Amino acid sequence: MLKRPVRRKRQKLSDVIVESVKRSIVTDALRPGDRLPTEKELMESFQCSKGSAREALKALEVEGLVNTRTGPNGGAYLNQAGTEPASRALRNYLHFQHMDGEQVYQLRKVIEVELAVSVIGRLSEADFKALQDNIDFCSHPEDSEAGQREQRIAELEFHNLLGRACPNPLLSFMAQFLNDLLRDLVVLKKAYKPKRKQFDAANLDYHKRLLLALRAEDERAVRQLMHEHMCDAEHHMTALEGEVTQHFLLEFDHHR
């Protein structure tokens, strides 16, 4: 018996326009600030309605690729898309997958090492100062819950500073994305509440030694230190999550 051919859903004209604009960004090497075709020009080029042209521009604006201006020089202009919208959307998806720190570190143990090696010889004095300031901030003893939370997040920011100096945009995004995902886990699970001075001291020690190795442009030392740092952090993070879970269960039993 012959099967009826599956009909593919016809692509919306607004989606066709969006794809065309994205293709132009790549093939025509468009830059932030470049003016995009007006609604009228899009209507003529794609033989579409004003509604389809407007819908396409709105979709590009929502994605962060376009900003619209009013006035004599009004219209749609190409925007430098940031990483945060994409990172936030992907993190929101992964939170529903019930991820834990161990799963994050499975990737982080690989990516952070390659990231650290990639910035050797590329860090400016301003970068080194920012890294040192981060270490100094994390060096002060902090007893309050809010202070512990800030320091735990600052420890991750040390790695984001390296990520921003990375010459590979994909590696940079992946490293910062994993750090932001880990930050979400720390905040949402309140993994900063159980005080673990050994964890704080270990992070601080690794960051100090990494800074020295990066200044010395010692690739072998950087690679080894970052690998050890990630393995040690995974161990502590797993223990912290266990403590948080146990604390939650005890509180639950207490209120039953």
Percentage of the chain beyond pLDDT 90 is: 44
Most confident of 73-87, 174-188, 203-217: 203-217
Mean pLDDT of 36-64: 89
Estimate the crossing angle of helix 101-118 against helix 219-255, to 10 degrees: 160
pLDDT (0 to 100) of residue 251: 43
Q: Give the mean model confidence (pLDDT) for residues 234-249.
A: 62
d(CA 164, CA 154): 15
- Judged against a pLDDT cut of 60, whether residue 191 lies above it is answered with no
Contacts of 25 (CB under 8 A, 6+ apart): 65, 78
Task: Give yes or no for residue 201 having a pLDDT over 70.
Answer: yes
Q: Read off the tokens for 220.
A: 């072998």
pLDDT of residue 32: 86
What gap in Å lies between CA 180 and CA 250, rounded to an integer?
Answer: 29
Of all helices (H) and strands (E), which one includes residue 67?
A: strand 66-69
More confident residue, 198 or 55: 55
Burial (CB < 10 A; 0-12, 13-18, 19+), residue 213, is buried
Q: Burial code of 5-14, b = ≥16 C-beta within 10 A, e = fewer? A: eeeeeeeebb
Query: Tens digit of pLDDT for each residue in 164-182?
Result: 999 999 999 999 999 988 8
Instruction: State the pLDDT at residue 246.
Output: 47
- pLDDT of residue 243 exceeding 60, the answer is no
Q: Which domains does the chain have, with CATH numbers?
A: 15-67 (1.10.10), 84-242 (1.20.120.530)
At residue 38 the predicted structure's pLDDT band, cuts being 50, 70 and 90, is confident
Task: Give 217 or 68, the one with higher predicted confidence.
Answer: 217
Q: Which of 9-13, 92-96, 125-129 has the highest mean pLDDT?
A: 125-129
- Which whole number is the average pLDDT over 209-222? 98
Residue 140 has pLDDT above 80, yes or no: yes
Alpha helix stretches (DSSP H) within the chain: 13-27, 39-46, 50-62, 84-95, 101-118, 125-139, 145-164, 169-188, 197-215, 219-255
212 or 149, higher pLDDT: 212
Tell whether the model's pLDDT for residue 137 goes beyond 50: yes
Pick the more confident residue, 196 or 162: 162
The yes-or-no verdict on residue 255 having pLDDT over 70 is no
pLDDT score recorded for residue 21: 85
Q: Are 86 and 174 in contact (CB under 8 A)?
A: no
Report the first-to-last Cα separation within the chain, whole angstroms.
62
| Mean pLDDT taken over the chain | 84
> 148 or 104: which carries more pLDDT confidence?
104
Radius of gyration of the chain from Cα atoms? 24
Using one digit for the tens of pLDDT, what is the confidence trace for 88-115? 888 888 878 877 778 889 999 999 999 9
pTM: 0.69
Query: Please, which residues have CB within 8 angstroms of residue 212's CB and are 6 or more apart in sequence?
Result: none
Residue where the block lists tokens 């065309």: 20
